[in-house]
Amino acid sequence: MTITKKADGKRLIISVNGRIDTITAPRLERETLADIGATDEFIIDFSELDYISSAGLRSLLNIQKAIGKERKLTVTGCRDEILEIFEITGFYYVFNIK
């Protein structure tokens, strides 16, 4: 998994390439929350994501919980396979997915 971060004012765009699984999920969480103090809006771009496991979904929940309701989290660019995982698990209704 590779993570690329781009700050745009108070917005942070995090692009994820590869797989989010038990091994890589904690890294996504750490990398995202490292910028929590300077960020009001988090955009996680999954356009290059091939796979997300339950550990990855759990990390997204942890990120959502840590940033709180005063900040915004959006997941974008999901391929059909990833969207299907979000729909089957009900996470499609938990996150702002565009």
SS3 34: coil
Is the pLDDT at 16 greater than 90? The verdict is yes
State residue 35's pLDDT score: 85
Contact 3, 28 (CB under 8 A): yes
pLDDT at 54: 95
Run of H or E residues at 60:
helix 54-67
User: CB atoms < 10 A from the CB of 69, how many?
Assistant: 7
Q: What is the pLDDT of residues 22-58, one digit of tens each?
A: 999 999 999 999 988 889 999 999 999 999 999 999 9
Q: Which domains does the chain have, with CATH numbers?
A: 2-97 (3.30.750.24)
50-87: pLDDT as tens digits: 999 999 999 999 999 999 988 999 999 999 999 999 99
Residue 37 confidence (pLDDT): 87
Q: What is the pLDDT of residue 70?
A: 87
CA pair distance 59, 22, nearest whole angstrom: 10
Backbone angles phi, psi at 29, to 5 degrees: -60, -50
